[in-house]
Structure 1
Amino acid sequence: MSPFLSRLLPAGRGKGLTGWLRNQYRYLQFAALLVIATFSPSIHDRATRQQSARILCAAAWQTLPGYLLASILISAVLTRIVAVTADSYGLSYLALEAILRVFVVEVLPLVSTLFVAMRAVPLAMQHLSAIPGQPGPTIRDALPYAVGNAIAVAILAIIGGIVSLLVAYIVVYGFSHWALPAYARLIGQVFDPVLAIAFLAKIALFGIAVGIAPTTVVLDPGRRNAGIREMRVMVRLLLILVLIEGSFLMLRGF
């Protein structure tokens, strides 16, 4: 960790629950610094923008083929299963709505986040890990990873959602266009203003989580084993994602 971050975010002392809570508060402070830096024009110089673009390309563009293939296959299989099951109970009109509400709204943002995380964490570990005897990474070094990965999550989630909507229509109605008006009406009913805002907010929070969590490696001591540090980052990210998803499920229940 850089001397500036060491002074600004001193390592938490203490053992047990007290030390753990102090470390979590330290991570929150670091996340707040990254968010502030994201909206600070002065820190986004040409080198930072170019590095953000490279991270975005690595996290989104290089991941896109596999992600699209997985989205198409999962969407087609789930749509077929739900459609056949619903038709057997005389509820075929609910099949597409179930796919939209469960897969597109709930599952797809999480899948896109995990796809980006699998690419983001190793890159962050490789470039942001502290090397003993050398100055550690700074906020400016970590910012491109946070911005690039967050945007990558949004891009994959939106593209995957559009592709899944097309696949679901084709599986149920084929390539005929006669059901397009009813399908468009169904999409509008499912994505009402409240759900649309919640859906976008979930994608944004997932993006922030997968953008910031890998960069917290700059706060970990450089003497730790790389595998242990990577595992800690992944566990930290998964806990954040579970909290976000659980919070949205609770809010939707009210």
Structure 2
Amino acid sequence: MRSQRWLKRQGRLAGFSALSVVAALSPASYDRITGRGLAGMLCLGAWQMLPGYLLASILISTVLTRIVAVTAASYGLSHLALEAIVRVLVLELIPLAAALFVALRVAPVTMQRLGRPAGDPPPAYRDLIPYTVGSAGAVIVLAVLSGISALAVAYLVVHGISQWALADYARLIGQVFDPTMAAVFSIKLMLFAVVVGIAPTTVALDAGPLDPVVRQMRVMARLLLMLMVIEATLLILPRL
């Protein structure tokens, strides 16, 4: 019985997520009110925190790049330092960091606004669009901008302000972002954005006797688990 209830619940979540994606992709779902709410969520998830987030991203990128460069030089592997930085920092850490940041920043607000007591009808899918699309857009914006800044920082830390290595660095980036890795990176970023956008809205399905804090913790645990599964899966699949 417990397994049946679990499967039924997962089916409800899957159906809810699919319908949320369909609503978000439908042009008919967008009107002035939806656009205003979407702009507000984008502002909350990305614009308000963008300067601080980019500053933190630049500082962390500088420290990690310096550590990797010095360590590689001590082993005579300086020529591999930049490639390692791009692969680990830009391809793996930055998308996950952006998703976690937006989730921690926006998800509590989303769950607080969409939480409902038992007996109340769930919100319409159109009402969820500002939260789903706004959070997803914030993940993409932060990941792309912090990735670009990390690439610039990596070059400056290793080569300084000289221009002699720009051509080689551009060639290295092209080698790292080959068609396969570019596709994996794009898929990962889109999946992270979808999960961060949709997972907090599933609190609308959890109306019942549970304490609101417990419901929100369950949603956050589900979100983090899905992010980890996506990260692990896309780490393994390209190597099979």
Q: Are residues 1:204 and 2:190 paired?
A: yes
Residue 164 of structure 2, aligned match among 152, 155, 178: 178
Q: Are residues 1:168 and 2:154 paired?
A: yes
1:228-243 → structure 2 map (5 Å cutoff): 228-243=214-229
Partner of 1:143: 129
Cα displacement (A) at 1:131:
3.7
Higher mean alpha-carbon deviation, 178-187 vs 223-232, is at 223-232
Q: Secondary structure at the match of 2:85?
A: helix
Q: Secondary structure at the match of 1:176?
A: coil
Cα displacement (A) at 1:69:
2.2
Partner of 1:79: 65
Partner of 1:26: 12
Given that 2:135 and 2:197 are in contact with CA atoms closer than 8 Å, whether structure 1 keeps it comes out as yes
Aligned mates of 1:104, 1:29 — CA distance in 2: 33
Q: Secondary structure at the match of 1:130?
A: coil
Q: Secondary structure at the match of 2:204?
A: helix
Residue 107 of structure 2, aligned match among 107, 115, 121: 121
Under a length normalisation based on structure 1, what TM-score does the superposition of the two structures give? Answer: 0.91
Aligned residues: 240
Partner of 1:248: 234
Partner of 1:107: 93
Residue 189 of structure 1, aligned match among 175, 196, 202: 175
Given that 1:121 and 1:233 are in contact with CA atoms closer than 8 Å, whether structure 2 keeps it comes out as no
* Aligned-partner residue type, residue 231 of structure 2: E
Cα displacement (A) at 1:66:
2.8
Given that 1:59 and 1:116 are in contact with CA atoms closer than 8 Å, whether structure 2 keeps it comes out as yes
Higher mean alpha-carbon deviation, 205-214 vs 135-144, is at 135-144
Under a length normalisation based on structure 2, what TM-score does the superposition of the two structures give? Answer: 0.96
Cα displacement (A) at 1:222:
4.6
Structure 2 residue runs without a partner (length 5+):
none
* Aligned-partner residue type, residue 163 of structure 1: S
Given that 1:67 and 1:112 are in contact with CA atoms closer than 8 Å, whether structure 2 keeps it comes out as no
Given that 1:216 and 1:233 are in contact with CA atoms closer than 8 Å, whether structure 2 keeps it comes out as yes
Partner of 2:83: 97
Aligned mates of 1:105, 1:146 — CA distance in 2: 24
Given that 1:146 and 1:212 are in contact with CA atoms closer than 8 Å, whether structure 2 keeps it comes out as yes
Given that 1:112 and 1:156 are in contact with CA atoms closer than 8 Å, whether structure 2 keeps it comes out as yes
RMSD of aligned C-alpha atoms? 1.3
Q: Secondary structure at the match of 1:98?
A: helix
Q: Are residues 1:59 and 2:65 paired?
A: no
* Aligned-partner residue type, residue 197 of structure 2: G
* Aligned-partner residue type, residue 21 of structure 2: V
Higher mean alpha-carbon deviation, 62-71 vs 20-29, is at 62-71
Aligned mates of 1:136, 1:252 — CA distance in 2: 40
Given that 1:128 and 1:141 are in contact with CA atoms closer than 8 Å, whether structure 2 keeps it comes out as no
Cα displacement (A) at 1:17:
2.2
Aligned mates of 1:54, 1:231 — CA distance in 2: 24
* Aligned-partner residue type, residue 60 of structure 1: A
Deviations 1:161-215 (A, max 9, x none): 0000011111111112221111111111111111111111110010000000000
* Aligned-partner residue type, residue 46 of structure 2: A
